[in-house]
Amino acid sequence: MKVGDGFTCMGGCNFGSEPYLITFEKNVRLSGNVTFVTHDGGTWAFRDMSEYADVIKYGKIHVGERTFIGCNVTVMPGVKIGKRCVIGAGSVVTKDIPDETVVAGVPARPLMTTQKYADVCLASQKPYDKERYMADKRNYLLEFLVD
């Protein structure tokens, strides 16, 4: 597995049986339980048929710089995810994702650009006390996020 500087995995990620086929550029962040599938095990279903006995399917996976992949995402073989992408929680990525694209769903589909997502996040941001947040995140959020 090739991993760039600033790579973060929040835990429980599965890099499959061929992690050497996966490349992460710098500053990639994986949320929990992300799965990378580098081969198609479905070939097992017809391996007993002589003409298909030696069929194998593998694919490299490449994740671009400063991309965020949400929890419980599955990335399939041969996929290239561009730079500054956001992959929504629970998505199944079956096709290449262009740079600066937000995707979600099963299969993952484009929703908007990363810039539009940034603008939406900024517009919906409530003012908050950053110093208090940094000092005691748990208690501050419990107080700040009132029902």
Q: Is residue 80 part of a domain?
A: yes
Kindly report the CATH number assigned to the domain that includes residue 41: 2.160.10.10
Question: What proportion of the chain, given as a percentage, has pLDDT over 90?
Answer: 92
Contacts with 135 (C-beta within 8 Å, 6 or more apart), sequence order: none
Q: Is residue 146 part of a domain?
A: no
What's the angle, vertex CA 68, arms to CA 142 and CA 72, rounded to 5? 75
Q: Can you give the pLDDT at residue 144?
A: 85
Q: Are strands 101-104 and 109-113 parallel, antiparallel or unpaired?
A: antiparallel
**pLDDT tens for residues 73-92?**
999 999 999 999 999 999 99
**pLDDT tens for residues 116-128?**
999 999 999 888 8
Q: Is residue 143 part of a domain?
A: no
Residue 110: Cβ within 10 Å count: 13
Position 94 confidence tier, pLDDT thresholds 50, 70, 90: very high
Number of domains in the chain: 1
Parent domain of 34: 2-113
The b/e string for 37-67 (b: 16+ C-beta within 10 A; e otherwise) is bbbeeeeeeeeeeeeeeeeeeeeebbbbbbb
Whether the CB-CB separation of 100 and 119 falls below 8 Å is answered with no
Q: Is residue 64 part of a domain?
A: yes
Q: Is residue 147 part of a domain?
A: no
Q: Is residue 136 part of a domain?
A: no
Q: Is residue 141 part of a domain?
A: no
pTM of the complete model:
0.91
Q: Is residue 122 part of a domain?
A: no
Q: Can you give the pLDDT at residue 126?
A: 86
**pLDDT tens for residues 38-63?**
999 999 999 999 999 999 999 999 99
